[in-house]
Amino acid sequence: MENKECHILSLSGGKDSTALALLIKEKYPEIHEQIEYVFFDTECELEETYDYLNKLEVFLEKPIKRMKPYKSFDYLYSMYKFLPSIRFRWCTMHMKTETFRKYMNNKIKEGYSKINLYIGIRADEPERIENYQSKNLETEDGTLKTRYLLAEEGFCQKDVYNLLDSTGIGYPKYYDWRSRSGCYFCFFQRKMEWVGLLERHPELFEKALQYEKNAGKNFTWCQDMSLEELKKPETVAKIKQRHQEKLSKVKETDKKLIDIFSDCDSDNSCLFCHT
Ligand code: SF4
């Protein structure tokens, strides 16, 4: 095998992986020169994500490779006949992980004996690093090596915000109403985020609702409520009220708006979608 080394950063379209890419460009120019920025596209992403990636390409002065899944969500859904969920995340498995693994295998076939994979986990998320390490992404022969430069550099949430603000790239537009990148129907969404989808992208909300209806009455995207129920004006009003209550508390602690939704367990979130 040739002694070739490559560097890969999988971008999610979220703030942390974006900050990592910008950090690499600023502090590690030798890596930036060689690195491949890759986006594993599920083809079910929000247009705001694509817009942000386009903007990031300008800041990075490098292209971001867009990798399509081998099987579309519609095809997979017709096979499984039920919605993906936290318990059986077939969406991630096929639409992200499978594409990622094939991408890595192709690198090995191309003669790369060392692949450095950069992951946007911060210093204030040590449990996520442990979680990623437990997934055995690294190969025993050392071909695949994961690197956590944000964590190594001591980057916490506020440092990510500072970097995105100071470079001028700012945040993806979906942060106005949602805390995470990923598919428009992602089941990690909070109810207020579903309301955001209903109001900002009603056609996507309807699409998600149709998937849910076709899946039968035992399957819903939210754990305790159908989207048909959620979109009722009285339900929307209740969800908004609860959100406002939460918002007033968050303001007191002077947190960023985009943190308001993110009180779910990040350990359980998608390996590729939410960094
Ligand atoms: S963003 Fe959500 S729905 Fe999409 S692949 Fe990841 S976990 Fe699945």
Q: Tell me how crowded residue 117 is: count the other CB atoms within 10 A of its CB.
A: 19
Q: How far apart are CA 31 and CA 25, in angstroms?
A: 8
Which of the residue ranges 78-87, 161-170, 215-224, 243-252 would you say has the lowest mean pLDDT?
243-252
Within 8 A by CB and 6+ apart from 112, the residues are 2, 4, 5, 6, 143
Confidence band (pLDDT; 50, 70, 90) for 259? low
CB of 60 within 6 A of ligand 1: the answer is no
pLDDT over 70 at 2, yes or no: no
Confidence band (pLDDT; 50, 70, 90) for 163? very high
Q: Which residue has the higher pLDDT, 8 or 262?
A: 8
Is the backbone of residue 136 left (phi > 0), alpha (psi -120 to 50) or beta?
left
State mean pLDDT over 219-223.
91
CB of 12 within 6 A of ligand 1: the answer is no
Confidence band (pLDDT; 50, 70, 90) for 83? very high
CATH architecture, domain 4-174: 3-Layer(aba) Sandwich (3.40)
Domains of the chain by residue range: 4-174, 179-266
Within 8 A by CB and 6+ apart from 108, the residues are 115, 143
CB of 91 within 6 A of ligand 1: the answer is yes
Q: How far apart are CA 37 and CA 65, in angstroms?
A: 6
Which of the residue ranges 43-57, 189-203, 217-231 would you say has the lowest mean pLDDT?
217-231
Q: Which residue has the higher pLDDT, 261 or 31?
A: 31
SS3 of 39, please? strand
Token representation of residue 73:
């969500």
Q: Tell me the pLDDT tens digit for each residue of 112-134.
A: 999 999 999 999 998 887 777 66
pLDDT at 17: 96
The arrangement of strands across the sheet holding 36-40 comes to: 64-67, 36-40, 4-11, 112-118, 144-147
Ligand 1 centroid from CA 89, angstroms: 8
Q: Tell me the pLDDT tens digit for each residue of 16-49.
A: 999 999 999 999 999 999 999 999 999 999 999 9
Q: How far apart are CA 16 and CA 259, in angstroms?
A: 13
Q: Which residue minimizes the CA distance to atom 3 of ligand 1?
A: 186
Mean pLDDT of the chain: 89
Confidence band (pLDDT; 50, 70, 90) for 264? very low
pLDDT over 70 at 153, yes or no: yes
pLDDT at 131: 75
Q: Which residue minimizes the CA distance to atom 4 of ligand 1?
A: 183
pLDDT at 265: 36
pLDDT over 90 at 254, yes or no: no
pLDDT at 261: 47
pLDDT at 266: 42
State mean pLDDT over 239-248.
90
Is the backbone of residue 13 left (phi > 0), alpha (psi -120 to 50) or beta?
left
Q: Tell me how crowded residue 203 is: count the other CB atoms within 10 A of its CB.
A: 8
**% of the chain surpassing 70 pLDDT:** 87
CB of 183 within 6 A of ligand 1: the answer is yes
SS3 of 113, please? strand
pLDDT at 249: 78
CB of 35 within 6 A of ligand 1: the answer is no
